[in-house]
Structure formats: structure tokens, C-alpha cells
Amino acid sequence: MTAKIIDGKSYAEGLRGRIAGHVQRLKAEHGITPGLAVVIVGYDPGSQIYVSQKAKQTVEVGMHSEKYELPEETPEADVLALVEKLNRDPAIHGILVQLPVPRHIDPNKIIATISPDKDVDCFTPASVGKLQIGLPGPVSCTPLGCLMLLRDTLGSLAGLNAVIVGRSNLVGKPMAQLLLRENCTVTVAHSRTRDLADVVRGADIVVAAVGRPEMIKGDWIKPGATVIDVGINRLPAPERGEGKTRIVGDVEFKAAAEQAGAITPVPGGVGPMTIACLLANTVTTASLINGLEPPKDLTP
């Protein structure tokens, strides 16, 4: 079998178009312009690219965007004071503090200070609790993006065996909650799982989020399964020239594509969905803060 390639880039483009429509309606019918503030502390080049992309796409869908670039040595108290100011700012409906933060800053303190109403990352304990019991609110961006791609590929997910490889707070755990809500039978595997290959072989859906390049082998994939690869790993690629790198996922793509029914590529699969879902969450929080029902097509 040769798998269908799940085009996350194109899906994310369509999603951003729908978000722009919802933003227009919120403006025209309710006088609300959803606003997203992104905060970055320090000079990590990867994080700077991400944050610039987030701010650019926020403006492109018609939202209000604020970007705070703070020097590496900013005291923790100043970051907390900024978050508190944004919590009180009525023009802001979503607050994202880019992680990792420099070592002298406790990320848990920052997260605990973000108002759960504006927690577009779904990092605060209150948001995680809401997600677990199915109350309306923001949903972790990458898992929400994975779910949208899965639904678009498969329709109903009910009764399917889903194996998530990776148990992070960012992806693995919220992904498990979302797939349970879809009536999947969910297994969360990880680096200590015994006979991981056999566990993956039983999966109708594989979500790979371990952060290890090409760890999931092609011959572990059940014929016809749907594979969602969350991994973004940079490997040296001397064949492309000195100092060059290439990006691979957590799945051995070529071999897995021989087995799977559908598979996300890296890059161009899950990656573009994450920022689009951040924008979707900002529409959700802007709606909820104003007592409106969030658009159904932006939430699980």
C-alpha cells in the first residue's frame, strides 16, 4: 500500500480562512476584536522564528496582536508583572509565553499566573481540568491540530485503537483525552513501554510524539493505519553541504508510508496546524470571555 499524504499545510490554510470569517463576524456582530499577546524572553533563534510567525498569522486573520520581546536577563518578577497586566487588559483574550524560558525563571510560576480564561496554550491546571472533563475552553494546540487532521482523514474515530507514543503534558496526555472523547480505545506508550513495536502494530491510529528521530519503524505500522507524526527533529545532512541539516519526524516516513493508509509528512503535516489552532483558541477564549458560544468548528 502507498499511503495518502495528509497535507497539514493546506488544511491549516483552510482553517485560517474559517478563523478569519469568525473574526469578521465577532467584529461586525459583537464589536469584539480577538487579541493575542505573545511574550518571549531571551534570544533563542528557534523560539524567535515561532513567535514572529504567530504574531504575523494573528494579524493575517484580522486579530489584534501584541508581541513582547524581553531581554534574556529580565527578572522573573517583571515577566509575572507583564502577565498580570495582560490578564487585566480587555483588548487581550489570549496570552502565550513562549517556552522554554531562561533558567532563572520558573515556567510553572509563569503558567500559574496566566488567567485560565486567556490560557490559549491550555497549560494552566484549570484548563487541563476542563479539557479532562469536557467543559468548553481552549484545547492544547498541537493535539487539537492532530484531531482535526484525523477527523478530516477518517470521519468518525469511534471504536478505533489509538496508540500515542509519548506522554508529555504538551502533546501525549491531552491527545489521550481528546481521543477518549472521540470514543477511541487509547493506549499511551512511552520510552519505557515493553514491546513497543507490538503495541504500535495493534494501532488503527498512531500519534508519534516522543521527540526521537525516526524511532517508530515502518514495519511496526499496521497495514492501512493512520499515522500522525508530531516529531520535528533536526539531523545533520552533510550531503546537502557543510553545516546543513534536514528535518525528520519521529516516524521512519518512507517505510511507514508503504504500510499506512494515510500519514502526515514532516515538515508540512502537523507543524502548520499548531499555530492555526492557537488562533482558533484565541477565537474560542474571546467568545467565552464575552459570554458567547465558541464556533463549533474550532473546538473538539
- Determine the interface stretch with ligand GUN among 7-15, 97-105, 186-194, 253-261 (rule: CB under 6 A): 97-105
**Could you confirm whether 98 is annotated as catalytic?**
yes
Q: Which of 5, 20, 55, 99 binds ligand GUN (CB under 6 A)?
A: 99
Which C-beta is closer to ligand GUN: that of 97 or that of 189? 97
| Sign, Cα dihedral of 173, 178, 180, 185 | negative
Which C-beta is closer to ligand GUN: that of 97 or that of 208? 97
279 sits near ligand GUN (criterion: CB under 6 A): no
- Residues 103-122 interacting with ligand GUN (rule: CB under 6 A): 121
E strand intervals along 33-183? 35-41, 64-70, 94-97, 161-165
- Determine the interface stretch with ligand GUN among 96-104, 156-164, 229-237, 249-257 (rule: CB under 6 A): 96-104
Which C-beta is closer to ligand GUN: that of 208 or that of 257? 208
CA atoms within 13 A on the CB side of 238: 0
**Could you confirm whether 173 is annotated as catalytic?**
no
Is beta strand 64-70 parallel, antiparallel or unpaired with respect to 94-97? unpaired
**Could you confirm whether 106 is annotated as catalytic?**
no
Rounded CA separation 236/224 (Å): 32
Buried b vs exposed e over 154-191: b needs ≥16 C-beta within 10 Å? beebeebbbbbbbbbebbbbbbbbbbeebebbbbbbee
Min separation Cβ 113 and ligand GUN, Å = 13
Report how far apart, in Å, the C-alpha atoms of 59 and of each of 30, 140, 285 are: 19, 21, 17
At 261, list the grid cell.
493508509
User: How many other C-beta atoms can be found within 10 angstroms of the C-beta atom of residue 234?
Assistant: 11
- Determine the interface stretch with ligand GUN among 92-100, 221-229, 238-246, 279-287 (rule: CB under 6 A): 92-100
- Determine the interface stretch with ligand GUN among 23-31, 91-99, 195-203, 219-227 (rule: CB under 6 A): 91-99
| Interaction pattern, residues 33-52, with ligand GUN; x per rule: CB under 6 A | --------------------
Report how far apart, in Å, the C-alpha atoms of 234 and of each of 45, 134, 199, 211, 212 are: 14, 36, 27, 10, 10
Q: Which of 98, 153, 226, 287 binds ligand GUN (CB under 6 A)?
A: 98
Min separation Cβ 282 and ligand GUN, Å = 13
Quick one: which of 103, 48, 122, 105 has its CA closest to 280? 122
Our measurement of the distance from residue 221's CA atom to the centroid of its chain's CA atoms, rounded to an integer in Å, reads: 24
Min separation Cβ 66 and ligand GUN, Å = 15
Could you list the residues that contact ligand GUN (CB under 6 A)? 96-99, 121, 141
**Active site (catalytic) residues:** 54, 98, 121
